[in-house]
Amino acid sequence: MTSGAARVLRRLRERGETVAVAESLTGGLVAAELTSVPGASQSFRGSVTAYATPLKRDLLGVEGALLAERGAVDPDVALAMAAGVRRNLGADWGVSTTGVAGPDAQDGKAVGTVYVAVSGPGGVEKVAELRLNGGRADIREESVRSVLELLSGELRENARAQDTEQNGGN
């Protein structure tokens, strides 16, 4: 799976930018995937594994009222986690994963419900809702792949937008 991580890190390195990761259901797998790539330290700032809901509030700055009202498995929570890790770890980009890997539903959300999010420069905020099948390991692995793909896509879009600005909109 490291090809997605390698692609993201290469793009970040080319741009002179950094990334930080906030993880819940993936429990550090995104950070492990990124750090498995040689030279990751040039762009990877660090990660917070906020598995317990109170840590999302205390370490990542997710509003307690949001967590109380909707639970940890929510698109706005995913965005707040990504923004919080970006801010707290001093990165250009923040990504996050939150969801239900199983075996049981959580906060009224079915197993396989996952949200991955990206927060970046210029107000970039993107969240994707996933409905994943398979066992716990499959759901976690696909969550890692999906958040790296989401970041990769945003890096491509952001680069296109910068090129357009620099070339006078043509």
Q: What is the pLDDT of residues 90-105, one digit of tens each?
A: 999 999 999 999 999 9
Exposed e or buried b for every residue in 13-46, given b needs 16+ CB within 10 A? Answer: eebebbbbbbbbbbeebbbebbbebeebeebbbe
Q: What is the pLDDT of residues 14-68, one digit of tens each?
A: 999 999 999 999 999 999 999 999 999 999 999 999 999 999 999 999 999 999 9
**Among 2-11, 77-86, 90-99, whose mean pLDDT is lowest?**
2-11
Other Cβ atoms less than 10 A from the Cβ of 61: the count is: 14
**DSSP 8-state symbol, 66:** H
* Fold observed for domain 2-166: Maf protein (3.90.950)
Per-domain residue ranges of the chain: 2-166
The pLDDT, as a whole number, for residue 138 is: 98
Collapse the DSSP code of 93 into the 3-class scheme (helix H, G, I; strand E, B; otherwise coil) and give the result. strand
State how far the Cα of 87 lies from the Cα of 141, in Å rounded to an integer.
26
Confidence check: pLDDT of 2 > 70: no
Other Cβ atoms less than 10 A from the Cβ of 100: the count is: 24
| pTM of the shown model | 0.94
